[in-house]
Amino acid sequence: MIKNDLFLRALKGETVERPPVWMMRQAGRYLPDFMKLKEKYDFFTRCRTPELAAEITTMPIEQVGTDAAILFSDILVVPQAMNVEIEMRPGVGPFLPNPVRSPLDVNDIIVPDVYEELGYVYDAIKLTKERLNDEVPLIGFAGSPWTILCYLVQGQGSKNFDKAKEFCFKRPDAAQVLLQKITDTTIAYLKGKVKAGVDAIQIFDSWGGLLSPTDYQTYSWKYIQQIIDALKDEIPVIAYGKGCWFALKEMSQSGAAALGVDWTCSAINARYLSGGQITLQGNFDPSRLYSTPQEIKKMTTQMIDEFGKDRYIANLGHGILPDIPVRNAQAFVDAVKEYKPR
Ligand code: CP3
């Protein structure tokens, strides 16, 4: 039904002419048309207005030609729906005036009716699907429960999310209650996204790599596995964990259709750790898009040679940086599209 189904075929592990390509955080940031909209509407207005969200989602499809679209939204709309006030401060990022710091605070967090609180996301998906006209698949997403907890407790971005870790290790019972509430909400939220029409789901565990391998199991993976279990029979799920190479073996046995890897793990190690059968996605260093278009093309081709063209989705290892020139992002996408197996 979808005209360019390379991405969906790679998720199924089918043989493809060339790997599909998309870029994490491709909707917005580095695109001049997005910056124009940003001057007129604040961040959550862009998320909450289906016309704006659909327009931003389709920009990278029209302007750089990626093989999949990812809905313009944010992982933090989920905790907002759980009764937490979250601001997006220009130049700063997420800011929570009242972060979660005690077991009592956890009691105030609700598991909402997602259709009531997040209906605007479903409307944005339906409108985006209309606009995409089945040209490319649409990816829906959510943050991992651990990554959401990081923001809920820390109250803002951080290099090490020390307050989040302190809360987990001093108040493990309350932390587990909080993680389970986020998990239950996320499962309902993602089931709604599937109903609204997305073609695949990605879980972003952006801060999973801050945990030790043992704590990763207890505070992050356990909950991601619940989400995969709840969704895997309905839709392909991609699990992306930044810095989580140590968990690739377990992740490969989870029922996820694909695993995201960052640039600190080589293709050969990622294939080895994940058992060689599952589709992998990644892992170009986003900062490497500062190189010349010529260098970018050479390195991208090399990356595909290393991963192999099948069971592979070309992507960055984390989100695209805001000041990357569009022509450099274009060089990355073009290199994948021009790939010829040797
Ligand atoms: O991939 C896409 O382009 C789709 C849209 C998308 C956004 N955020 C839009 C956004 C997605 C998939 C996200 C996920 C997200 N949001 C993550 C996980 C992925 C990652 O990069 O680690 C995280 C941790 C967040 C939380 C968040 N949102 C932060 C830390 C910030 C501020 C810093 C930044 O990245 O710019 C945001 C704001 C945000 N979310 C912007 C965009 C386009 C930039 C702010 C703006 O446009 O006003």
Per-position pLDDT tens, the chain of length 342? 899 999 999 999 999 999 999 999 999 889 989 999 999 999 999 999 999 999 999 999 999 999 999 999 999 999 999 999 999 998 899 999 999 999 999 999 999 999 999 999 999 999 999 999 999 999 999 999 999 999 999 999 999 999 999 999 999 999 999 999 999 999 999 999 999 999 999 999 999 999 999 999 999 999 999 999 999 999 999 999 999 999 999 999 999 999 999 999 999 999 999 999 999 999 999 999 999 999 999 999 999 999 999 999 999 999 999 999 999 999 999 999 999 987
209 close to ligand 1 (CB < 6 Angstrom): no
Main-chain phi, psi angles of 200, to 5 degrees? -160, 165
**Domain 5-338: CATH class, spelled out:** alpha beta
pLDDT for 53-73, tens place per residue? Answer: 999 999 999 999 999 999 999
Cβ atoms 221, 247 nearer than 8 A:
yes
Return binding residues. Answer: 25-29, 44, 74, 151, 206, 318
CA–CA distance, 8 with 20 (Å, rounded to integer): 9
Residue with tokens 């409108």: 127
What is the DSSP track for 120-171? HHHHHHHHHHHHHTTSS-EEEEEE-HHHHHHHHHHSB--SS-HHHHHHHHH-
Ligand 1 pocket mutation, candidates 22, 25, 64, criterion most atoms within 8 A of CB: 25
pLDDT at 342: 78
pLDDT at 91: 87
In the beta sheet, which residues pair with residue 315?
A: 283
Q: Element (H or E) spanning 174, and its range?
A: helix 172-196
What does the buried/exposed string (b/e) look like for 18-33 if buried means 16 or more CB atoms within 10 Å of the residue's CB? bbbbbbbbbbbbbbee
pLDDT at 20: 98
Residues 6 or more apart whose CB falls under 8 angstroms from that of 65 comprise 333, 337
141 close to ligand 1 (CB < 6 Angstrom): yes
Query: Domains of the chain: which residue ranges?
Result: 5-338
Which atom of ligand 1 is the closest one to the Cα of 73? 5
34 close to ligand 1 (CB < 6 Angstrom): no
Q: Could you give the angle at the alpha carbon of 138 between the alpha carbons of 74 and 59, nearest 5°?
A: 75
pLDDT for 240-294, tens place per residue? Answer: 999 999 999 999 999 999 999 999 999 999 999 999 999 999 999 999 999 999 9
C-alpha closest to that of 299 among 290, 310, 288: 288
205: left (phi over 0), alpha (psi -120 to 50) or beta: beta
pLDDT at 29: 80
